[in-house]
Structure 1
Amino acid sequence: MAPSQTFVALGSGFASASAWAAMAWGLAFFAAIYVLLCGGNWLLTRHLLPALRIGRRIDPEPLRDGQIRYELLLSALSILIFGIGTILPWAFLQLGWARLASDPGPVQVAVEMLALLVWNDIHFYANHRLLHTRWLRRFHVQHHRSLVTTPFSTYSFHPLEAILLGNVILLPMLLHDFSFAALLSLPVMSLLLNNLGHSNYDFAPAAGHDHWLSASRRHHLHHTRYHGNYGFLFNFMDGWFGTRLPEEPPPTTAGTAPE
């Protein structure tokens, strides 16, 4: 079976599954990509790349006591919320509010993936700015307890933040009949690239401040300065709304706390 048809079959199976099966599938999916991508990024940035002398660690400060355990516990809660939340796109399909593309070609899938990637950046920026308002910052502060970030910080959210960020797929599904492959790619791309931002590792020190590989430097500035650099992978939203932090030597996080 061709890959495109395999995803079509998977999409049909998901749409026809029971509600409990859809949530169980979502829980397994989000847990699997978290373990593979976050664990893989930890091995890459803490062992393989330093051994090969590729890139460099951004902030040399040690992690706070119990940080990894704290991040893993919050991440497990976020994965549970994302898994249960799978019921919403499933319900959209059941109710006929959304449909899956029946015969998507590779070009269509690629264009949809790119569109969802850009939408993810817009959605993330809007919700991230909201989480930094005085009304919601008490929820977002849990994420900012990771002053020195790790790949496991990526899903380290308060439940409210997990709900806000986890609804990224809903509006696009109402507006367009996406391929199941493109819909599946969104959480994978989101987690993979969010790992880049939270890796505390400069993969390309020679790259410019606005280069996508510099997302780790930009997001490190966000965690040390708290205000500014609210974007995800790209920098265009921060540029449009005047929240772009200027490039500067990487500061340490000692003594830094949300304001």
Structure 2
Amino acid sequence: MASGAVLSNFTAPVAWGTGFATLPAAQVVALGVAYFGLLYFVTGGVTWLLTRRVLPALGWGRLLDPRALAPGQVRREMSESVVSVLIFGVGLLLPWALLQVGWAQLAAQASPMRVAIEIAVLFLWNELHFYVNHRMLHAPLLRRFHGDHHRSQVATPWSTYALHPVEALLLGSVPIVPMLLHDFTFPALVCLPVFSIMLNNLGHSNYEFSRTPSAHGWLGASRRHHLHHACYNGNYGFLLEVFDRWAGSVLPPDSADARIRAGRDSDAPATTRAR
């Protein structure tokens, strides 16, 4: 009886977020800015503390690119990220407008099982959406907009939202196509930016989360994106490596070794540690 009750509760429909479409536009923007700002500063701060203090003290893992940061890099990343947070917050008006005009709908009731499935679907879509947009941002037409992000040759957790406004608009469009194709639950859509920035922090952590390098699978995401920042071309994926493998854009594990050695030996101002 007890296990049956648990299963019944797990599959029972629950109503979530049905009032989102009725909020005034100004409140949608204010909530969006607060939400994305909270995600950025909390996840960035936790990742910075873990990778710069806690894990090194425990002897777990290692810094991937030991080159010093450029002068003022973290301040620049944070200021650019504040602009991205504002863009993401205002950008919530687009899915809100889709709900207003009836082009999209939120599922009024859904079981937790459905929410879990939708989160898995959105995770896979997020991977594909990021890969496609990232490849476009490396094409000649859009490359100039991606240059801001690549000013951080040594990635940090604060690099995650350090984007040109055009890039922020492209990457922030991730929920639009899914919402036009399916009536998602509100919790699944809310979780999309949560796991997106958590994975983004993993990729920009510049840290090997493994006692035995080189890490593979999802733990290797930080190594793969570190190589992307160090080498610029290749490793365009987010957490999964599958799209890079299909497209032949995987970087060899040692592809940045020469640049890192040259950077550490150089006395150029660009490699001076940021304060």
Q: Could you state the TM-score of these two structures normalised by the residue count of structure 1?
A: 0.92
* 1:33 lines up with 2:39 in the alignment: yes
Aligned with 1:112 (options 93, 113, 118): 118
- 1:136 CA drift (Å): 1.2
Aligned ranges for residues 14-33 of structure 1 at < 5 Å?
A: 14-33=20-39
Aligned with 1:173 (options 150, 162, 179): 179
Deviations 1:168-201 (A, max 9, x none): 0000000111111100111010000010000010
Judged with a 3 Å threshold, the aligned counterparts in structure 2 of structure 1 residues 3 and 51 are, in CA distance, closer, same or farther, namely: farther
**Matches of 1:100 and 1:205, distance apart in 2:** 44
Aligned ranges for residues 1-259 of structure 1 at < 5 Å?
A: 8-9=15-16, 11-206=17-212, 210-248=216-254, 251=257, 252=260, 254=263
- 1:134 CA drift (Å): 1.2
**Matches of 2:153 and 2:79, distance apart in 1:** 17
Judged with a 3 Å threshold, the aligned counterparts in structure 2 of structure 1 residues 111 and 98 are, in CA distance, closer, same or farther, namely: same
Alignment-mate amino acid for residue 158 of structure 1: H
Q: Which has the larger radius of gyration?
A: 2
- 1:209 CA drift (Å): 5.6
**Matches of 1:3 and 1:65, distance apart in 2:** 52
- 1:208 CA drift (Å): 5.9
Deviations 1:119-152 (A, max 9, x none): 1010000000000011111110110000111000
Q: How many pairs were matched up?
A: 254
1:58, 1:250 within 8 Å by CA — same for their partners in 2? no
**Matches of 2:211 and 2:46, distance apart in 1:** 21
The CA RMSD measured in Å over matched residues stands at: 2.2
**Matches of 2:241 and 2:139, distance apart in 1:** 20
**Matches of 1:45 and 1:101, distance apart in 2:** 39
Q: Which runs of 5+ in 1 are unaligned?
A: none
**Matches of 2:15 and 2:230, distance apart in 1:** 44
2:61, 2:209 within 8 Å by CA — same for their partners in 1? yes
- 1:205 CA drift (Å): 4.8
1:217, 1:250 within 8 Å by CA — same for their partners in 2? no
**Matches of 1:91 and 1:180, distance apart in 2:** 15
**Matches of 1:205 and 1:221, distance apart in 2:** 19
2:131, 2:238 within 8 Å by CA — same for their partners in 1? yes
Deviations 1:69-97 (A, max 9, x none): 10001000000000000001111111111
- 1:206 CA drift (Å): 2.9
Identical amino acids, percent of aligned pairs: 53
**Matches of 2:130 and 2:194, distance apart in 1:** 15
Deviations 1:232-257 (A, max 9, x none): 000011011111112227632828x9
- 1:43 CA drift (Å): 0.8
Q: Could you state the TM-score of these two structures normalised by the residue count of structure 2?
A: 0.87
Q: Which runs of 5+ in 2 are unaligned?
A: 1-8, 271-275
**Matches of 1:55 and 1:235, distance apart in 2:** 21
SS of alignment partner, residue 12 of structure 1? coil
